[in-house]
Amino acid sequence: MKKYKVITCVGTRPNFIKVTQLEKYFSLCGISHKIVHTGQHYDAKMSDVFFEELGIKTPDVYFKLTPTSQVGIISQIMLQMEAYFLKESPDLVLVPGDVNSSMACAVVASRLGIPVGHIESGLRSYDKTMPEEVNRIIIDDISDLFFVTEPSGVDNLIKEGKDPKKINYVGNTMIDSLVAFLPEIEQSKIGDEHGLSSDDFVLATFHRPHNVDNEANLSVIVDLLNSVSKEKKVVFPIHPRTRKKLEEFSLAKKLSSDVLLVPPLGYFDFIYLIKNSSVCVTDSGGIQEETTYLQTPCLTVRPNTERPITITKGTNTLVELDIDQIMPYIKEIIRGEYKKGEIPELWDGKASERIVKEISSYLEE
């Protein structure tokens, strides 16, 4: 019997979290599994610490990229990935999410005639000003297997004419990691280190260019965090991009002393903060899912979301970057009057197992 080879391509912190449970299931199926780290997140605090903490096997290859524009990074990944795929001849390439690394790897695989599997397939914000939305559409247009986290993904793919036989509603691999590591998460000392009691603080994250690269918007975020800190202490794990912009616009000094700036955190510490906060105020994608599973209220400061189930079933609400709109929600949450969420179907820690089972069947066929 042929031994099949699958290559999983990762390059950013959110996508490392989505692949932690795949290796053991590929091993059980006798499928050779290699991991390529594209180097898109090259900061050790945003990358290496995650591999160490989450026990992901060391990447089989780690690309070195020269800092440049987004297009420059994508082109470097493509050239190095082409050489690697030609050398390895994989039977399938697996890409998670919607980042530039995933799109670049999927395009190269497709050009070389290698089947592509897409984790988190079918998510749509219908906002093409977001690079991630363009990436999602491109990846799904050239994928051979679609692994879907929520019903909207299935609906979107069918509307786009994808073969229903190739659409697999498997659940959420990000939740797989959360379930697997919950004992370690609960042992985190980050709360003790900063004197944080459960439900006694608000967790904030902002990193999207629309919010942090625009001086006027970042100024509103500073004012918002200061307003929230009058109700509860704010913990703000600060993305390198956001820190740079706060300094560049001379806004860091305007933050209240009740806004606690902390550096980028490891996975266990960060999820501990999500689990124990009163509310998360964020512009992230993945945090909408993690808060929904942990049933922590979430206010997502964006005009749209590609994860609508976090609103319809979960604990998430979309809000504009407007203090007068956000503060009433904060007060409602503190009073205990905010909606109660449900955990979506198949967000049970077994999505990775389902994905590997589908891949195994596909390769055998």
CA distances from 225 to 52, 257, 262, 304, 311 (A): 32, 11, 14, 21, 23
For residue 37, indicate whether it is catalytic. Answer: no
Exactly one of 118, 194, 207, 210 is catalytic; which is it? 207
Q: How far apart are CA 279 and CA 298, in angstroms?
A: 6
168: left (phi over 0), alpha (psi -120 to 50) or beta: beta
DSSP per-residue codes, 160-208? TT--GGGEEE---HHHHHHHHTHHHHHT--HHHHTTPPTTSEEEEE---
* End-to-end C-alpha distance for the chain, whole angstroms: 13
Tokens of 261: 């700036």
> 141 CB contacts (<8 Å, ≥6 apart)?
none
Tokens of 165: 């036989």
Structure-token match 């691999």, residue found: 173
Active-site amino acid positions: 207
